[in-house]
Amino acid sequence: MHSMQRRAEYRERKVLIVSVGGVAGSGKSHFARMLKNRIPGSKVIEINRVAKGYNLYSKVDKYGTKIVRLRELGKVLNDKIRGLKGVVIVVGHLSVELPIKADIVVIVRAELKDIESRLKRRGYADGKISENIVSEAVGYSSDKVISKYKEVFEVMTAKEKRSLISYIADVYYGRRAKRPKLKRVDMLMDMMKFIKEGNHYRL
């Protein structure tokens, strides 16, 4: 869609929905806070909090992680979003699994070692840490959304995050928006280094 058409559409609907995804420990919530601070009045919907608030769990996996009933969660989220105005930021690793009607999708990426250290601090089981490391290495989150949405951005560095936040703000406020370059983050070398240095996740 042409940028002017896109801005006109947002002005008409008076809402800009931004979905923020990525594996656990990638920095999704931090990015959401940065965006909210840039655009005062933005509404943040934390997917995990919604799932917990509505008790949308079906069972627990072998690591003790609660499994969410995705179909019901998707319905609840879209009901919450419907009727909201301004910038709505929907954040959570499950965002890529849900039918969110997002205008812009952000996938936050991170170094594998950073993900490992963050999840260790949170008390994740080794098996769960391994799952997230592999998911990040293969770009699972991006692969789930790349063909479903017109604007999908991967961000990893502080500069990339600032640039994308500026773009989102410009689009929302109807200013001439310089669209950041669309790119895919290649984690192959990072994964090879992670394996070569040794780890106890059997990777």
**pLDDT confidence of residue 8:** 57
Q: Mean per-residue pLDDT for 46-52?
A: 97
Question: What stretch of H or E contains 105?
Answer: strand 104-108
Asked whether residue 60 is assigned to any structural domain, the reply reads yes
Residue 2 has pLDDT above 90, yes or no: no
As a whole number of angstroms, the distance between CA 90 and CA 36 comes to 11
Query: 């042409």: which residue's tokens?
Result: 2
Tell me if 203 is assigned to some domain: no
Length of the chain in terms of residues written = 203
Confidence bin at 177 (pLDDT 50/70/90): confident
The Cα-based distances of 4 to 9, 11, 135, 174 in angstroms read 9, 11, 36, 9
**Number of domains observed in the structure of the chain:** 1
Residue 201 lies in a domain: no
CATH code for the domain in which residue 86 is found: 3.40.50.300
| Rounded distance between C-alpha atoms, residue 133 and residue 129, angstroms | 6
76 pLDDT tier (thresholds 50, 70, 90):
very high
pLDDT tens readout for residues 5-47? 655 565 666 899 999 999 999 999 999 999 999 999 999 999 9
Q: Is 149 a member of any domain?
A: yes
Both tokens of 103, joined, read 């205008």
**Residue 26 and residue 109 in contact, taking contact as beta carbons nearer than 8 Å:** yes
Question: Does 119 reside within a domain?
Answer: yes
Range of the domain at 165: 3-196
